[in-house]
Structure 1
Amino acid sequence: MSLKYRINSPVTVGQFLHLLHESELANRRPVNDLSCMQGMLKHSNLIVSAWDNEELVGIARSMTDFHYACYLSDLAVSKAYQGHLIGYNLQVLTQQQLGENCKLILLAAPGLDDYYASIGYQKHDNCWVLPRAESLSQRGYSPSVKQLR
């Protein structure tokens, strides 16, 4: 295993999809929506990746302001490479790219609460997720808001 870590190196959609399928993250991502997958890569502003030669074997894909908050949206490691601290190293390298006051935020995959707690994350019960299918503008709580362009 000749592992190298890269910061913001190009990752193709094909490589990303392959890794999601090789990890267990594909069943929780819109892998059949190519446009969405392309957008996920294109609009991330921090990607830390792990490579075995030219094979993508791990990724930490984030959106951040680099000062206050970093949302680590995808943390995936190929099953064949799990157990070698790759996911941990991806998080360390992600954190190293951030300012000293920038917090790392993620939504844990099912069954991983103990892992994240063991490496120092603090669990918060006040996280809320608004599914895209739920339209706030249809609820009628405020006057009509026109979309700006």
Structure 2
Amino acid sequence: MMEVNEITYKVNLEITAKDFSNVFKSSGIKRPVDDLERLQKMIDNADILITAWDADKLVGVARAITDYSYCCYLSDLAVNSNYQSKGIGRQLVQWVQKEIGDTVTLLLLSAPSAMDYYPKIGFESIDNGFKILRKS
């Protein structure tokens, strides 16, 4: 078991696409980890980027798109697998909630492997969603 120092959370701190990719790779989340240009666009166009740090090592990220008024889409929640089950994901979500306030609904699409996780950190399952899947 890895010993974890105190985790520091930062709001909208600039990170590199490479760091972003490394968090995805180490978390097991499926993202275009080798397409650094696309990852950079994902960072640049996010409204909220919360990062979790163990000293100078990026270990978690939450990325969201919002109007700060009605809804917020949590598009990424990823924590390095060596740091999972330590409350970091829950903290990242709470930091997003602090940024949007309590009048904004927080929504997300879950990976099948994380369906049991989100109810544990306060999300309610819904059945009324639709999507048009991206082509690439």
TM-score (norm 2): 0.90
Aligned residue for 1:4? 8
Unpaired runs of 5+ residues, structure 2, are none
Indicate the percent of aligned positions where both proteins have the same amino acid. 39
Q: Could you list the runs of 4 or more consecutive aligned residues of structure 1 that deviate by over 3 angstroms after TM superposition?
A: none
Q: Could you tell me whether the CA contact under 8 Å between 2:18 and 2:36 is conserved in 1?
A: no
Residues 11-50 of structure 1 correspond to what in structure 2 (within 5 A)? Answer: 11-25=15-29, 28-50=30-52
SS in 1 for 2:58: strand
1:96 maps to which of 76, 95, 98: 98
Aligned residue for 1:115? 117
Instruction: Output one character per residue of 1:70-95: Cα deviation in whole Å (capped at 9) or x when no partner.
Output: 10000000011111100000001110
1:76 maps to which of 59, 72, 78: 78
Q: Distance in 2 between matches of 1:61 and 1:74?
A: 5
Shift of 1:131: 1.8
Q: Distance in 2 between matches of 1:32 and 1:12?
A: 13
Instruction: Output one character per residue of 1:6-40: Cα deviation in whole Å (capped at 9) or x when no partner.
Output: 01111111110111111011xx2112222211100
Q: Distance in 1 between matches of 2:6 and 2:116?
A: 30
Instruction: Output one character per residue of 1:21-73: Cα deviation in whole Å (capped at 9) or x when no partner.
Output: 11011xx2112222211100010010111001111000000011111111000
Report the RMSD for the aligned CA atoms in angstroms: 1.5
Unpaired runs of 5+ residues, structure 1, are 135-149
Q: Distance in 2 between matches of 1:29 and 1:118?
A: 23
Shift of 1:2: 3.2
